[in-house]
Every structure is written in C-alpha cells, then in structure tokens.
Chains A and B, each alone.
Chain A
C-alpha cells in the first residue's frame, strides 16, 4: 500500500512542479492572450473539475449499462428445477 501512496505523491509532485514552472514562466514571458494566462493560473481547479466530471460520468455510464440479465435469472430458475428433480430421483434431497 505504501508504494502506491509513493506513486501518487510522485505524480502530484510532478504536476505541481510543472504548474509552478508554468506560473513562473508566465511572469517572465509576456503572454499576449489572456485566455491562456487564465487557464494556466487556474489549471489545478480545472483539473479537479475534469476529474470530478470523469468520475460522475463513469459512474453514471456504469449504472446505465449495468447488466440486469433477467434472462439469465430465468435460465437459472429452470436449471434449479431440473436439478431438484434429478437430485430427488437420486434420493439426495
């Protein structure tokens, strides 16, 4: 478990470093487009938002595609009946 934590800390550290260096770069280089400036400054907020969106969409899609398999249930009930009959005949039940 500890190693998985280390992997995560590393990733967050790399992303943070990347972000900070972009911020520093913004201070030095004069970016004429305000949109890019805004995006870089608030990148972590967008990141978290996208992550949340991904989570919500994945869970929603998963729930929507949940396989309810009522056919399989029916088939199983048939087999249960068959099994009971056979086992009764063999005097196991």
Chain B
C-alpha cells in the first residue's frame, strides 16, 4: 500500500498520529451513560478520542442525558447520532461508523502517518473503560488489526452469574471454538478495538444481526488472516484444538496453555507509557503489514 511504500523509502522515524473513535450504542442507558462517559474521561485523559453515541429513541430519556454530557464535555468529543427507533445493535455500529471522524489511513507529509481506530463497547457498564489503554498498548506493541477486550466487568470475570448461565456460556463457547476454530478465545464479546478500515470491511460483509454478529465478525476476521490480540486474564482455561486433544489427554492440562497465543495474559503487556499513545515516534521496522 501507499503507506508502506513511503515508509520504506523514508530513512527517518515516522510520527504516527492515531485517533480513536468509540462507538457506544445505547438503549435505555440514562443511568449508566453518564458513568461511562465519566470513566472514559478518567482513563483516557491522554488519548485522543471521540465518543459517538447511537441512541435508538430510548423511552427513558437517554438522549437528554447525552445532550447534557455533550454540553459539558464538548461537541468535538461527544457526537450524538441518534436514530428514530430501536433498530438493533448491528446496524447501530454501521450507523455510528459513518460519523467516525478519525482520518482514514493516509500520508500527510513524509513524516506523518494517520491511523484511525474504532472501539466498540457496551454502555451498560459491563465493559470498563480502564481496559482501553491496555487494549491500545497491545495493539501498538504488535500492530494488531483487532484487539478484543475482556468481556465482563473486572479482570475478565463476571459478577452475579448463576451456575446455569456459566454452563451455557462455557458450553456455547466450547462448541463455537470446536466447530469454527477462530483462534480467538472470546468470540461473543463485544468490547473490541479495530483498525477502522478493517472494521469497515468486516461490517460490510457480515450478514447476521444481533448477538451472532460479534461472532461472525471475529470468524471472518480470523479466516481472512487479520491479526487479533486478546486482553484476557491468564488464569482462564484455554480452549484447545482437535489436534492437541491427544497430547492434552496424555500430558495433562498444564501443557495446553503453552499452545495458545503467547501474548495472552494481562501481566504480559501493561502499557509501557500509560496514556501517551496518541502520537509517537516509531522506527519504520515496527510498522509491518498484517
């Protein structure tokens, strides 16, 4: 691509300007929305980001709350892109993506490259903004196309789930892992960071709606060879493929963890310079393609 060609010819370090657009679909989140915005401000103080709120005419007045927040934090930080009715999550992302203002990857002058990212998250406080710096740091370290965040509040766990819901969750995940082999441990999670162009491509190809949509996005991404990083706690039991089944049975479960993505585990990649990700000097060798 053009970006890489220029980088190749350029002997000097290049400044990469990054912008993060957060897509936040809301439906009846008037209680949670202010908290989410406040937490974003708290944890992304040094990240250049914009928040796009896609509210589907929530009857609880979420839009009034959103307007008040926009007034407080500024119209360039909080964009309101409501829709007239409840049209579902999948189309909410498509709708919101159109308004993401981060520059498309292009070369401004020979020293400056713009890369835009999109973060998808839920507004119901099941996704904590404090993980976003970790996701950003991981993306930058390995130049991942996608980084999945932890699905639940806290360090990859859930709060207040009963046994039945846990069994269903684990069972469904096992089945999906076994049949689809996506190479990603958390298929159904919706807390994700994408390179903007990658998200636009995937979203235009996905046919499913609702909550299968997240799975389809991940499945397509892995089959297309996009690189995926995962922010997940290292204590999770890894899912293992059919080939390693015998080895696992012979040598015990402790060997299975070696087969997974070596970058897994929160401890492995705390952001080296917390918060200072919006502009940085990089050596041209570190900006490899997928």
By the criterion CB–CB under 8 Å, are B69 and A67 in contact? no
By the criterion CB–CB under 8 Å, are A67 and B39 in contact? no
Interface residues as binary, A12-32 with B (CB distance below 8 Å gives 1, 0 otherwise): 000000000000000000000
By the criterion CB–CB under 8 Å, are B38 and A86 in contact? yes
By the criterion CB–CB under 8 Å, are A58 and B154 in contact? no
Instruction: Give the shortest distance, in Å, between A36 (CB) and chain B (any CB).
Output: 17
**Residues of A with C-beta under 8 A to B128:** 72, 76
Please tell me the size bucket of the interface on A.
20 to 34
Instruction: Report the Cα distance A60→B157, complex, angstroms.
Output: 16
Instruction: Report the Cα distance A83→B161, complex, angstroms.
Output: 25
Interface residues as binary, B131-161 with A (CB distance below 8 Å gives 1, 0 otherwise): 0000000000000000000001111111111
Cβ of A48 within 8 Å of any chain B Cβ, yes or no, is no
User: Which stretch of B9-17, B173-181, B278-286 is in the interface?
Assistant: B173-181
Chain B residues bordering chain A, tally (CB within 8 A): 44
Picked from A59, A73, A90, the residue with its CB within 8 Å of the CB of B171 is A59
**Residues of B with C-beta under 8 A to A33:** none
Cβ of A93 within 8 Å of any chain B Cβ, yes or no, is yes
By the criterion CB–CB under 8 Å, are A76 and B167 in contact? no
Q: Which of A51-87 contact B (CB under 8 A)?
A: 51, 54-55, 58-59, 61-63, 65-73, 75-76, 79-80, 83-84, 86-87
Instruction: Give the shortest distance, in Å, between A90 (CB) and chain B (any CB).
Output: 6
By the criterion CB–CB under 8 Å, are B171 and A70 in contact? no
Known A69-B152, A69-B158, A86-B38; contact A76-B163, beta-carbon cutoff 8 A: no
By the criterion CB–CB under 8 Å, are B157 and A62 in contact? no
Instruction: Report the Cα distance A86→B37, complex, angstroms.
Output: 12
Cβ of B249 within 8 Å of any chain A Cβ, yes or no, is yes
Cβ of A34 within 8 Å of any chain B Cβ, yes or no, is no
Instruction: Report the Cα distance A83→B236, complex, angstroms.
Output: 31
| CB-based nearest B residue for A64 | B237
**Residues of A with C-beta under 8 A to B166:** 62-63, 66
Instruction: Report the Cα distance A68→B179, complex, angstroms.
Output: 27
Cβ of A92 within 8 Å of any chain B Cβ, yes or no, is yes
By the criterion CB–CB under 8 Å, are A83 and B155 in contact? no
**Residues of B with C-beta under 8 A to A67:** 152, 154-158, 233, 235-236
Known A4-B179, A83-B34, A90-B72; contact A72-B174, beta-carbon cutoff 8 A: no
**Residues of B with C-beta under 8 A to A8:** 179
B42, B166, B233, B237 interface centre (most CB from chain A within 10 Å): B237
**Residues of B with C-beta under 8 A to A54:** 245, 248-249
Picked from A3, A4, A66, the residue with its CB within 8 Å of the CB of B157 is A66
Interface residues of A (CB under 8 A from B): 3-4, 8, 11, 50-51, 54-55, 58-59, 61-63, 65-73, 75-76, 79-80, 83-84, 86-87, 90, 92-93
